[in-house]
Amino acid sequence: MFNKETYIRRRNELKRLVGNGVIVLFGNNESPSNFPNNGYYPFRQDSSFLYYFGQQRDGLVGVIDVDNDTETLIGDDIDIEDIVWYGSVNSVSNMASEVGVAHSAPMKLLTNICNDALRAMRRIHFLPPYRFDIKLQIFDLLGIHPNQQKESASMDLIKAIVKMRSTKDAEEIEELERAAVIGYKMHTTAMRLVKPGVTEKYIAGQVDGIAHSYGSMVSFPTIFTQHGEILHGTPSLNKLEAGKLALCDAGAENMMNYCSDNTRTMPVTGKFTQRQLEIYSIVETCHDYALEISKPGAKYFDIHLAVCRLMTDRLKELGLMKGDTEEAVRAGAHAMFLPHGLGHMMGLDVHDMENFDQINVGFDEETRPKLEQFGTNCLRMGRRLEEGFVVTDEPGIYFIPALIDEWKASGHCKEFLNFDKLETYKDFGGIRIEDDILITKDGCRFIGKDLIPYHPKDVEAFMENN
């Protein structure tokens, strides 16, 4: 945990932003893996509960009465049978004291708190739940059916938390740096192990083990695959083949649950072929261009489009695209190669606050675009950057056979795409380069003391020497 003054300050600011009513922040319960007493490991607390109440134990709820300026940590103390199996833990009252909360109460009193507020016609603020047990708990407490809870969640509370969690303070940046150290170990471990004959599953398992041995867990299920064109490709038992590319998208959560998220693409043999290098250099250039132009005041949606235009220009040089660049990007032709956004917010969640919907996190009233077009409909971040934001920079180029076939058959964007040339790339796979960047006063910088190699010569040199 941070010191208790951090949590006191955060809750006070939350009260100021929300203004009135009763805020109920649900922590997570233990989640069973395949039967009730075989819990999914490790326990993962809800991120917003962590942000304001700091405690990692399951079965807790934080209540903030804005009108009466009182705070209560709700939860039941564990009994002797739990102590026998899992050891002693602090009492709920002690946990409350650790984070500067004056009051604690058993879980059964949460019903009284909610009933009193409802009778007084006071507003109860809660966040959109994402676990079914919490949905049932809200149904029991407030009588709101699970199908209606997302719409009934407090937009005032969502906006307040997004405002606070989007800007990382010095303590949080330090934790993100610690997560990046683990991420560096994960990715350089993969680079050391990549060679023909080793299975994807083996390397992914070693990468995951680094996250668990140095931190809390992986920040998302590790993507390691020779089929980089599958954006969320899971590792298989297939052996790495000479001449292929291996894509590793992986990150760690440190012990405070702050995240890292990086992607590297490497040649299985340790040396890029000329064709691989041509595509890789485009992704590399786009990645570095985003670093150059990301700064406070710039809209990340505009930066995304600028990267798409640069990518289109370079793909035209290879004969894969054609026509006017502006018109091609406006038509979404670039999404043949880049069907996702440039990046997303990152912090306590690898896709920070994604449970609030990205339209509420990555966009605001000024930047909220119409996102129906293929490619832009997957954007997670488009709002103006501010000092203290942490976002990912992750351009990629993918050759997806099914997408090539579909667009070719329908003639979609045929004036901007050379389908004959695309046919020859169906066996290529995909390339992505991803880093986490902190928006600074005048620009941005990498998160992480040591930069995971990504320039082609650096990747080849690291693989040769390690």
d(CA 233, CA 229): 8
**CA neighbor of 15 nearest in space, from 55, 56, 63, 48:** 63
400-437 tens-digit pLDDT: 999 999 999 999 999 999 999 999 999 999 999 999 99
Do the Cβ atoms of 397 and 334 come closer than 8 Å?
no
**CA neighbor of 398 nearest in space, from 336, 354, 341:** 336
Predicted pLDDT at 369: 66
Per the rule left: phi > 0, alpha: psi between -120 and 50, beta: everything else, 323 is left
Predicted pLDDT at 236: 97
Count of alpha carbons within 13 angstroms of residue 15, beta-carbon side: 16
Do the Cβ atoms of 332 and 407 come closer than 8 Å?
no
Mean pLDDT of 176-200: 98
Q: What is the pTM of this model?
A: 0.95
CA angle 130, 132, 133 (to 5 degrees): 115
- Domains annotated for the chain, with CATH where assigned, are 4-166 (3.40.350.10), 170-465 (3.90.230.10)
220-269 tens-digit pLDDT: 999 999 999 999 999 999 999 999 999 999 999 999 999 999 999 999 99
Mean pLDDT of 29-40: 86
- What are 365's two structure tokens? 């009233």
pLDDT-derived band of residue 81, with 50, 70 and 90 as boundaries? confident
To the nearest 10°, report the CA torsion of 34, 111, 142, 98. -70
d(CA 49, CA 358): 19
Provide the mean pLDDT of the chain: 96
Predicted pLDDT at 86: 81
pLDDT-derived band of residue 108, with 50, 70 and 90 as boundaries? very high
The H-assigned helical ranges of 167-273 are 170-193, 200-214
* Per-residue pLDDT at 139 exceeds 90: yes
- What are 257's two structure tokens? 């649950």
231-to-184, 225, 384 alpha-carbon distances in Å: 21, 10, 26
Beta bridge partners of 396: 432
Between 40-44, 146-150, 192-196, 332-336, the lowest mean confidence (pLDDT) is in: 40-44
Do the Cβ atoms of 138 and 144 come closer than 8 Å?
yes
